[in-house]
Structure 1
């Protein structure tokens, strides 16, 4: 018989042959729709409503009535497709999408529409069909569009890996996976993650917000939970339906069934052949996992495990380095009469090693106090170790009573002789809270700031020398001393560059910003320190050391103030600094009326000591308490030869020193002291 030939007359045909188009469409699970774009009404015949598993009484001729059947993601995709066809002048469109049946199952559907347009091209009507595509797609690579799905999977891997590449902490890993972008990439509605700790699983991420299940923060590895199972077996667990979840883990399912989870994938996180945790991905609009999806998730689990292990190691290294630095910082700050002191240290943010920033407060003889801020070059544990040694050495030199310039110079020599290639910047302040006299030495560090009682703030210019280590290497150990007076209620601010420096920004801009923040900050010193550290958190990621010293007149020691300074031979700057110190102290101690006399006599004694001996002059100023308060000036040198008072000729240029002392001072004398002598004089304070 020839195919396609005429039908024999003996064969009887059905009465309804050929079938009506409506019957053909209905038998093939296909329906039609007519969408009036002007009114927005869309007529759907009964087979079309059947495709959408929608009862006729539940449909009111408006597309919005179908929203319970179309998941939001699918609806957004369809809306975008139709909008693109209408605006792009296309005559037709077609797409596969999923609907949610009334029993909760998802089903694949296909739609095809023909766009009718007016003469001017304006669309006014769409006539089309919808059909059940479940059977079609179950036997075809079109089920997900094989090529498109492969591209999507590649995108998931690349996007997730890229996000994890920036993760430096465990929280960074969690954030990269659980934020909106991470969940969108993975196609999940939520994620849970647990880390293995001491034979238990510590839940560190808890899925959708507000979904925490009480009693699951810490669980044993041998408990009947999916995370515990994958950690024990080192094998992934894919849950393809609600029924499977409820049957396998009834205890957990009874607490999370309200979340309408339709599928889940639990993956062990394995690094170096041992489990470090587990991750669970939860789905609402999914039925089962294809083999490709399973392979993809297993590969992602491996990538997540590597990122997580790297983050855990970085955190451990950071904790060790931070612990090392914290151990080398002073454990407590001593109480200083006459001052309020606040210190802060904030380690660098994760992703950078610990640095060498430090602060210190050193009790000194005579009621004075030393304040130090410093920064060793580099951001690593070696910098922290060098910092610890340098802090101890500088503290020892200061406690021995050396002048500020000598303390810094000796610290520089120590660092140069240390087996390291690091240098350090530093500012050292010796403060007499009785007088308010500050002697500052700066070694390559930032200038301090001074906040006045009325809240104004300004940069305090301090003449500086080279950084510690470098000054010794280049033989430039001369450090000028800047002397200033700190009035009651005024605050000195010392900090490291982490408080003012920002990548790509000018340092002066950072100092100006800090000055403005101090000026507008709270008057309370504790609150001010906290605010400045918060500012550092907002603006930078370097480590920060901060020291605030405020002079408090009501608590200042009133008995005998004392100041001392070394003046080296051939050091005119040292002589100028000593004169400044004397003048400031005399004013602070209330002897302003005799200030010129005291400065003149002290200057004469210092110059004599430098001219007639081969060593330094040590000048000491103190207040003597008694029936009448006196200021005593002492100048020591290494010579045992006692000075002789003699008359100078008319043309003589020497011999007048002791005459001047005798006439201006109320009383004076000479004392032998070990390998040298001390010339002293006293002035009654009026």
Structure 2
């Protein structure tokens, strides 16, 4: 049996695939149909009521709905509504909106990203329901806010990774957390916490390079699937997983793709040794953290690449040889006169 909300989602998906009109309301859940290329969204009266918007005040633009999202939750929402054809699949997200009265309300979005064709754009279709009755959210909101603040000042990939570890491992009482960048078909691990090799699966140390900073994604099908679908995967204790992942979280494992700019910037693995119960608030925290971390990881990677390029340029400009001077030692230094790229200066 399917509950009414699931039946409604399935009906929406089927009609969207056949390009039929949205179905009439049936059961709980407010429906939407978002065109990914234009941002135009078709909604029903239930959804407008959830957002506290009158039918005459809504012009069909998704930006109107996004403007009501609490700023701390906006990156996670944007990671869903800005997805592209490379991340077709299901979406599930909990987020907060600020109502006209000034109060916050928790909403749960469930949907599916459908591919476009020659004469139609990719579309996100699904339902939104009121999730306020099952949430308190204060602790998780504070964690997301702290993470957002830490990531705002994180300048390098290493800084981003350490901020994610600090925001998630102890608050979630996790036993280990790994964060990796996705470069082509390989995962380049940027942080392992704890750092001791014996804390991680033996296969990581025997099959990967001796310093084990990277591995092909294909060696972990579960992780490859999560990255392809673009959504978090939660695995309970004693789940049937490949050894490279099963030993990361024998009591529970969270696999978080890190979305950014229409692609996956990397992945985060969080594991527990004792059986761990994943509640709805914790799932929402993980989703929000993944959206924030993905965007920060992309910015930091660009920052690191930019500074490596500048450093290479500066090293190239340095003289290959210095003159031999009697009674003195000649040295050369490149001192930039501009901020930002730090290119342009004089020899001293």
TM-score under structure 1 normalisation? 0.28
Query: 1:200 aligned to 186, 189, 199, which one?
Result: 186
Quote the offset at 1:202 in angstroms: 1.5
Query: 1:178 aligned to 160, 165, 171, which one?
Result: 165
Query: 1:377 aligned to 299, 320, 337, which one?
Result: 337
Are the structure 2 counterparts of residues 249 and 288 from structure 1 closer, same or farther at C-alpha, using a change threshold of 3 Å?
farther
8 A contact 1:321–1:380 mirrored in 2: no
8 A contact 2:154–2:160 mirrored in 1: yes
Alignment of 1:451-530 (within 5 A): none
Match of 2:86 in 1: none
Q: What is the DSSP-based 3-state SS (H/G/I as helix, E as strand, rest coil) of the residue aligned with 1:334?
A: coil
8 A contact 1:194–1:227 mirrored in 2: no
Quote the offset at 1:281 in angstroms: 1.3
Whole-angstrom CA distance in 2 between matches of 1:336 and 1:320? 33
Quote the offset at 1:173 in angstroms: 0.9
8 A contact 1:220–1:228 mirrored in 2: no
Residue 166 of structure 1 pairs with residue 153 of structure 2: yes
Whole-angstrom CA distance in 2 between matches of 1:186 and 1:162? 19
Whole-angstrom CA distance in 1 between matches of 2:315 and 2:244? 46
Quote the offset at 1:172 in angstroms: 0.4
Are the structure 2 counterparts of residues 315 and 250 from structure 1 closer, same or farther at C-alpha, using a change threshold of 3 Å?
closer
Q: What is the DSSP-based 3-state SS (H/G/I as helix, E as strand, rest coil) of the residue aligned with 1:270?
A: strand
Deviations 1:49-88 (A, max 9, x none): xxxxxxxxxxxxxxxxxxxxxxxxxxxxxxxxxxxxxxxx
8 A contact 2:260–2:295 mirrored in 1: yes
Quote the offset at 1:200 in angstroms: 1.1
Are the structure 2 counterparts of residues 220 and 239 from structure 1 closer, same or farther at C-alpha, using a change threshold of 3 Å?
same
Whole-angstrom CA distance in 1 between matches of 2:320 and 2:221? 45
Whole-angstrom CA distance in 2 between matches of 1:155 and 1:226? 31
8 A contact 1:225–1:252 mirrored in 2: no
Match of 1:296 in 2: 285
Match of 2:100 in 1: none
Are the structure 2 counterparts of residues 377 and 206 from structure 1 closer, same or farther at C-alpha, using a change threshold of 3 Å?
closer
Question: 5+ residue gaps in structure 1?
Answer: 1-144, 346-357, 359-374, 392-425, 427-686
Query: 1:306 aligned to 258, 283, 295, which one?
Result: 295
Query: 1:236 aligned to 220, 232, 235, which one?
Result: 232
Match of 1:152 in 2: 139
Alignment of 1:319-468 (within 5 A): 319-342=308-331, 358=334, 375=335, 377-381=337-341, 384-385=343-344, 387=345, 391=347
Q: What is the DSSP-based 3-state SS (H/G/I as helix, E as strand, rest coil) of the residue aligned with 1:289?
A: coil
Are the structure 2 counterparts of residues 234 and 311 from structure 1 closer, same or farther at C-alpha, using a change threshold of 3 Å?
same
Quote the offset at 1:279 in angstroms: 0.4
Query: 1:223 aligned to 196, 212, 219, which one?
Result: 219
Quote the offset at 1:342 in angstroms: 4.9
Question: 5+ residue gaps in structure 2?
Answer: 1-132
Quote the offset at 1:252 in angstroms: 4.2
Whole-angstrom CA distance in 2 between matches of 1:168 and 1:301? 18
8 A contact 1:221–1:231 mirrored in 2: no
Whole-angstrom CA distance in 1 between matches of 2:329 and 2:256? 56
Residue 248 of structure 1 pairs with residue 241 of structure 2: yes
Quote the offset at 1:337 in angstroms: 4.3
Number of matched pairs: 206
Whole-angstrom CA distance in 1 between matches of 2:153 and 2:145? 13
Quote the offset at 1:251 in angstroms: 4.9
Are the structure 2 counterparts of residues 248 and 315 from structure 1 closer, same or farther at C-alpha, using a change threshold of 3 Å?
same
Whole-angstrom CA distance in 1 between matches of 2:279 and 2:224? 24
Whole-angstrom CA distance in 2 between matches of 1:220 and 1:306? 23
Are the structure 2 counterparts of residues 225 and 204 from structure 1 closer, same or farther at C-alpha, using a change threshold of 3 Å?
farther
Quote the offset at 1:231 in angstroms: 2.0
Whole-angstrom CA distance in 1 between matches of 2:245 and 2:174? 19
